[in-house]
Structure 1
Amino acid sequence: MNSEQYLILLTFLWVGFVSAISFMEAWLKFRAPGVTLPIGLSIGRLIFRGMNKVEWFFGLASLVLIIGSGSLGITTSFLLFIPIVVLLLQTTWLLPAMDKRAEMVISGAELPKSALHFYYIGAELVKVVLLFAFGVTLLGNL
């Protein structure tokens, strides 16, 4: 396999990973019998920390493959650049803010509603759509 083929593989694995966790697991866990809000938040914190690390692996490995191939155009590379910027924002702002709120709720605090989850979902949608477009573009280049 060449670097573009590895990049395609990584890209679609990343899309599948984010889609399964963010768009299925995240809300399904709260439907399980006996899962209270504090328990669900504790599980979510653990899963999203792990997911963030795996996403950084996908993002950094993709960058290495792009640099190694040197043959991708600016538009194609841009389709990967934005999801990495989104991941950076999630890592440095959204996840820490959501984690802090989760800790407070787990400790028994009652907090006003927050738009953070909607921002996170929006960021995930942007990331998945652009990564999918990136992968499809790479497939078209084969």
Structure 2
Amino acid sequence: MANPDPLREEVGVLERELARVEDHLALTKAERDELAIKYSAVCERLEQSLMKEEGDEVVSGSPEGSEAARVNAGLRRQLEEEQIAYKRKLQTYQEGQQRQALLVQKLQGKPPPASQPAGTSSPTYQQLQRSDSLKIKPCEYYLLL
């Protein structure tokens, strides 16, 4: 019969690691939610800016046109930066979930599931766009995740 002390030690180590990963996961979820809010606000500002620009029909050579173009470019850059940061945080979040699931399975003594390619658990934006029954904006897609 196996000595129970090494098993208890391993369970203790795994439980501490699980608690650490759960804390990290909660923090990552909060960061993801914060980024989703920021992303939504930036999308809304960009859409408002574009609508205003279209409504004003600004002549591209005028000073107002160059100012609007500068603001538009700045908003686009900010949006792209926030998208990159969001994707990075999302990847970290998903990796944390996978590690946590493996730790829980190890603690429960279950074999790990067959490996699943990253990102297959939720539909991609392109898959959602192809669906005739669901039409969403890019801004809304990230909020669905």
Q: TM-score, normalised by structure 2?
A: 0.47
Which has the higher Rg, Structure 1 or Structure 2?
2
Report 1 or 2 for greater relative contact order, CA contacts < 8 Å, sequence distance ≥ 6: 1
Q: TM-score, normalised by structure 1?
A: 0.47
